[in-house]
Each structure stands twice: as structure tokens, then as C-alpha cells.
Amino acid sequence: MSTHEPAIAIVGPGNVGSAIARRLVAAGFTRVSFGVRSGSKIAEALAELDGKVTASLAPEAAAAADIVFLAVPGGVAVQAAHGLGDLRGKIVVDCNNPLTWSQGPVWSPPPEGSITAALQAALPGARVLKAFNTFGAEFHADPKLGDTVVDVPIAGDDAEAKATLSALIQRAGFHPIDAGPLRNAAALENMAVLWIHLALVGGQGREVAFKLLRRG
């Protein structure tokens, strides 16, 4: 695994993307950029980050990055990724969930079985991982959960990419967990459905998150 400071592009400066940027900046990452569409209004988000995050058009940000976080509405994730240009060799972190709503969240995956699988099929040569999709933006910005920190499960087929992302996750203050191969991205999307149900329908509130604890 390389020890150089990774260049990180966050495509989608919404609630989740902006919260991830805040967390990375707080953890000392210095090469963070938003990838945005032409005409996007992100001056407020950049001001909140005290100039420590830059912004450029999404293809330019992705081209300069080692790690690309994709934090967009699930229904447009593949389309957004197609617009980023050649991502071969880059780690692409899928933070998205395919959902509809019927008295609560309903998992609605693409034919490939998960957004992550659809992205991997659409991006030959990219190193696609599922992560950062199982809790709300509040925890993306601050991983503290009582006297511990939230878990970030990672699903994917590239062991070296997982190790690189795990190091980033740990440095950012979270606890990484290897959740197995890319096919398990579907399980993580369902984990997100459960979180959304608990938080928004089940009365637990958005301050709830998952944590694996060992007895003793």
C-alpha cells in the first residue's frame, strides 16, 4: 500500500459528501476536492471548510484523484460515474443506496444486484468498493458513538483497495470492517434500509448507528 497522501475527490457535495469532506479535513487530509457539475453553487460549503477543500468540474476532480467518493442520489450513480471519464486504477467508493419509499424505505436494486455491482460493470478497471452507506450524514461528519466510534463496513473484490480505504477510514476516526466480496454490497444496502427505517420510521432518531461489540 502506498504511503503518500492520497488525492481524494468527492463527487456530490450534498449532505453526505460535504460531511465526508468535513471529517477528512478534521482528520488532517490535505488533498480533498469536490467534483461538481457546471453551475453548482457550493460557495457556502467551501466557506465552511475554510478553504481547505477545493472544487472543480467532476471529471477534472476525478482525473486528479487516487480515491473517488461517489455520493449522489442512488438512481443516478451509474450515470454520474460515466461522466467522470477514465477511472481505471482508481478506487471508487460507492456511498449510495437504491431506495424507494412506501411507508418506509424499500430496497430497489438495479438488475446487477446492487449499485456497487452496477458501477463495477460500468467502470472496467476501476476498483469499486461499497462503504460509508450505512448511517446518516451526522456520523459521516463525526464518527463518535458514545464511548466508541461507528463501524464502516467495506464490500469489494480488490484486497489492496480495501486496505487503502481501511487506512483512510481509521485515520478519519472510524472503525473499518471487511464485509467481504462485492456481492455483499447488496447486504450493506439492506443494512442501510434498516438504518433508515429505525432512524426515520421506527422512532430511534438519526443519532442511532450500528456497532459490532465483542463480549468480554
pTM of the model: 0.95
Which string of b and e fits 42-54 if b means at least 16 CB within 10 Å?
beebbeebeebbe
pLDDT of residue 39: 79
Beta strands in the chain (DSSP E): 8-11, 32-36, 54-57, 67-70, 91-94, 99-101, 105-107, 127-130, 144-145, 148-149, 151-154, 175-178
pLDDT of residue 22: 96
Over 70: is that where the pLDDT of 168 sits? yes
Over 80: is that where the pLDDT of 216 sits? no
Cell of 92: 471508487
- How would you write 163-177 as a 3-class SS string? HHHHHHHHHCCCEEE
